[in-house]
Structure 1
């Protein structure tokens, strides 16, 4: 008797068992990947270090004529740059200036698709390629965010493969600016590639030094999870004081963009700490045209999203335990039903004189077929899922192999019990 003959009449049970266990393995894969992603989110966007009071900072030049007047004066631009530097470098402990600003960055000969364009996925209109007079080339406005080192560190942003951004090398007067790309850019550009960009009407070469980790996000304009996967990330220099003389138009626009920031204050610090920092910067720079805005929604969103992540994971884990229990019970019922039918055939074949080794080989081959089929269905199912995680897939395959080994030992024991004390002379 071979394995095919032994399987006769139990094919449906075998397929049902494979599908039940494949569903269990796939759901386990989903839970583990969900756990990894949520824990990454907790450690990144919702870390305890982010438990701060947040204030918004902007300029008070709401009159367009006054704003233009400031931009036309090199002295006034230097006041803004000095104010920024003083607030960034001389702020008291527990007060951090988180400067970030998003805009469409015109990039020439852009290699990416529409999903990277400014406005994609929003109510804004995607402009598409157009002729840029500064670069004299076809450009695309891509999603971009500029930020300083304090904001980069505060939001736990990091490059893949331990790539670190050398902030001391960020010099806007050099030939190139080192930039990071969101994770979705992998395969579109590579480390070392150069992008020709129109940065505030200044032709600029940007050099790709790495890619952000997947699902990198930050708090921006009330959005606690502003994702950067499809963004060009441009670092601000540590200081631009004294640079405006070389290009007043560029550094004037840049200075006001850098001034639009958030001020993070550690919990327990009095409001006066912020006011003292601002007053000190205003006194040293001569710039007092600023406005401070409270951002009360930050802590509320912080707490609610963090709770949502943890509560959802607890719910998912509970559901997975119920699924595992139901799947294992159903698998046991199917196995027992099929095994009883096969045992009768094994006893008959044994009594008719078929060798023990042939019968054992046929019985154990069925186990190998079951778990090989289970692994194949699991691999096919996980490859269809939108999220790929090779380490989690390997973990699940290892558990399938262990379950198969346990099942193999159990079936071997059952086989020995089936033919024991069964004399071949019995009819």
Structure 2
């Protein structure tokens, strides 16, 4: 007896079983993938180290004429840069200056699509390619965020494949600036590619040092999860004190962009610590044109979103347990129904002299067909899903193999039970 004879009359049950188990394994794939993304989100954006009091820092030069006059003074720019360095490098423990700015970056001969342009996906208008007078080339304004090393570390940002920024090599007076690209840029540019940009009206060359992992995010302007997948990430130098003399126009804009920042203060610190820190920096630098803004929404959003992530995972896990129970029960019913139908054929074949090894091979073939079909359906479905996760796929394929092994063991046990003590006609 071959496998096709045993399968006769049970094809419908076999197909139904494959699809029921495929639904179960695909749902497990989604839960495993969601679990990993949840753990990444909590460890990156919502771990305990990010539970801080947040303040906004800006300048008080709101009058455009006064601001322009202040910016054109080299002595005043030195005050701003010294003030920034005092906060960046001399703040007491538990107080961190988080400098970040989302200035769009005009990139010449841009290789990406419209999804990377500033304003895409928002109510803003996408400008599209245009002729840039500084570079003399066609440029596209792409989404970009410029940030300091402290900000990068605070939000647990990192490059993929252990390729990270060398912050000591970030020198704005050098030939190129190393940058990171969001995960969506993978395939658009490669590590080592050079970009020509208009950085605050200064032609600048940037070199792709690496890529951020998918779903990298940070807190920015009230958005607790400002995702960077489609952003160009430009590092600030560790210090720009003394640099303004070489190019006061460029550094005059850059210094005030860096100054517009957040100050993170560890919970439990006295309220006066941030004021004392700012006053000390102002005294040492001579710059007192700053304003401190509270960012009360940060902790509220932080706690709410972290709770939402955890609660959603608990809900998903509960639903998956119910799905697993229902799928296994249905699969068991289909298996038992098919097994009873095949038992009669096995008894007849045994009584007519079919060998035990032939019957065993037929049963093995049926199990192999079932679980090979299950693996194919699973791979086809998950290939179409947006959440591609190789670890989750490997886990599920291993589970399919284990289910197949368990089912084969059950079938061989059932075969021995079926033919035991049954009379037979020897050939």
TM normalised by structure 1 equals: 0.98
Q: For residue 263 of structure 2, what is the aligned residue in structure 1?
A: 263
Check conservation: 2:103, 2:145, Cα contact below 8 A: yes
Q: For residue 180 of structure 2, what is the aligned residue in structure 1?
A: 180
Q: For residue 392 of structure 1, what is the aligned residue in structure 2?
A: 392
RMSD over equivalenced CA pairs, Å:
1.1
Q: For residue 135 of structure 1, what is the aligned residue in structure 2?
A: 135
| Structure 2 residue 15 is matched with structure 1 residue 28 | no
Q: For residue 418 of structure 2, what is the aligned residue in structure 1?
A: 418
Q: For residue 376 of structure 1, what is the aligned residue in structure 2?
A: 376
Cα offset for 1:37? 0.3
- Structure 2, unmatched stretches of 5+, are none
Instruction: Give per-residue Cα distances to partners, 1:292-313, cap 9 Å, x unaligned.
Output: 0000110111101110011111
Alpha-carbon distance between aligned partners in 2 of 1:70 and 1:117, rounded to the nearest angstrom: 32
Q: For residue 281 of structure 2, what is the aligned residue in structure 1?
A: 281
Alpha-carbon distance between aligned partners in 1 of 2:389 and 2:276, rounded to the nearest angstrom: 49
| Structure 2 residue 18 is matched with structure 1 residue 11 | no
- What is the total number of aligned residue pairs between the two structures? 426
Alpha-carbon distance between aligned partners in 2 of 1:352 and 1:76, rounded to the nearest angstrom: 103
Q: For residue 60 of structure 2, what is the aligned residue in structure 1?
A: 60
Q: How does 1:27-176 map to 2 (within 5 A)?
A: 27-176=27-176
Q: Secondary structure at the match of 1:103?
A: coil
Cα offset for 1:72? 1.7
| Structure 2 residue 245 is matched with structure 1 residue 245 | yes
Instruction: Give per-residue Cα distances to partners, 1:31-50, cap 9 Å, x unaligned.
Output: 00000001000000001100
Instruction: Give per-residue Cα distances to partners, 1:137-186, cap 9 Å, x unaligned.
Output: 00000000000011000000000011121111111111111111111111
Q: For residue 359 of structure 1, what is the aligned residue in structure 2?
A: 359
Q: For residue 345 of structure 1, what is the aligned residue in structure 2?
A: 345
Q: For residue 290 of structure 1, what is the aligned residue in structure 2?
A: 290
Cα offset for 1:419? 1.1
Alpha-carbon distance between aligned partners in 1 of 2:64 and 2:425, rounded to the nearest angstrom: 107
Cα offset for 1:352? 2.1
Q: Secondary structure at the match of 1:264?
A: strand
Instruction: Give per-residue Cα distances to partners, 1:241-277, cap 9 Å, x unaligned.
Output: 1111111110000001001000000111112111111
Instruction: Give per-residue Cα distances to partners, 1:390-427, cap 9 Å, x unaligned.
Output: 1211111111111101110110111111111111259x
Instruction: Give per-residue Cα distances to partners, 1:68-111, cap 9 Å, x unaligned.
Output: 11122111111111111111111111111000000110000111
Cα offset for 1:8? 1.1
Alpha-carbon distance between aligned partners in 2 of 1:396 and 1:30, rounded to the nearest angstrom: 10
Alpha-carbon distance between aligned partners in 2 of 1:89 and 1:179, rounded to the nearest angstrom: 22
| Structure 2 residue 216 is matched with structure 1 residue 220 | no
Alpha-carbon distance between aligned partners in 2 of 1:405 and 1:425, rounded to the nearest angstrom: 32
Structure 1 runs (4+) greater than 6 angstroms displaced: none
